[in-house]
Homo-oligomer: A and B are copies of this chain.
């Protein structure tokens, strides 16, 4: 197996944290263009979806999309379980993983991609055609992010981790969302003590450096 990675991007980080939590080591190929906020032309030409991460299996099958990659890895390396220990837990983990991705990471991506000059004409990743930036999406992203922080704080007031009483992939996605937000200048709000408590705990795990 071989992982196509871009060190500065959030979705590959989900997979790297997952691998680190499992203690799996696989060949990793950095495909970012050095010093630029874009993927290399060679990689873009080789992957029809033009995004990262991607996992190449030994039979050359290319699996894209972080959750699909992690679920495949879970099937090959079941211990410790990071996506739930039974069907009910797996459903709860997947639901929260999606909440953290759609309501957290997507909000941050909206802010970043529609604001930062380096992404001019690339308001969304993966497209061959220009996707003009839409400044109004920065404001919408901020509203979404505020709602996400509130929801995450309420949830982490009920349980130690995002999907319940054990660490799972939903914590990885939530952590990556909060890290994205913080790097964009939208760190954990004062009114979210549960998020702050949880973030400190996740940041102390060795996988957070992955």
Chain A interface residues toward B at CB < 8 A: 48-49, 55, 57, 59, 61, 63-65, 67-69, 71-72, 75-76, 87-88, 90-92, 94-95, 98-99, 123-124, 127-129, 131-132, 134, 136-137, 140, 143-144, 147, 151, 154
Contacts and interface: CB of A to CB of B under 8 A. Distances in A.
Chain multiplicity (copies): 2
Given A63-B92, A71-B91, 14 more contacts: A63-B91, A65-B94, A65-B95, A65-B98, A65-B99, A67-B98, A68-B91, A71-B94, A72-B91, A75-B90, A123-B140, A127-B147, A128-B147, A134-B140
A23 B76 CA distance: 31
B72 A90 contact: yes
A92 B61 contact: yes
Interface centre among A55, A91, A144, A154, by most chain B C-beta atoms within 10 angstroms, is A91
A151 B49 CA distance: 9
Of A65, A123, A127, A131, most B-chain CB atoms within 10 Å: A65
A108 B69 CA distance: 26
The 9 A-B pairs at the shortest CB distance, nearest first, are namely A75-B87, A68-B94, A72-B91, A68-B95, A63-B91, A134-B136, A65-B98, A65-B95, A68-B91
Nearest to A61: B88
Nearest to A72: B91
Contact of A144 (B64, B75, B95, B124): B124
A136 B94 CA distance: 32
Q: Which of A48, A55, A92 has the most CB of B within 10 A?
A: A92
Nearest to A49: B99
A67 B94 CA distance: 8
Most buried by B among A68, A95, A136, A154: A95
A205 to B, nearest CB: 25
B98 A68 contact: yes
Contact of A57 (B59, B67, B88): B88
24 contacts: A55-B91, A57-B88, A59-B88, A63-B95, A64-B99, A65-B95, A65-B99, A67-B98, A68-B91, A68-B92, A68-B95, A69-B91, A71-B91, A71-B94, A72-B87, A72-B88, A72-B90, A124-B140, A124-B144, A127-B147, A128-B147, A131-B143, A134-B136, A136-B136
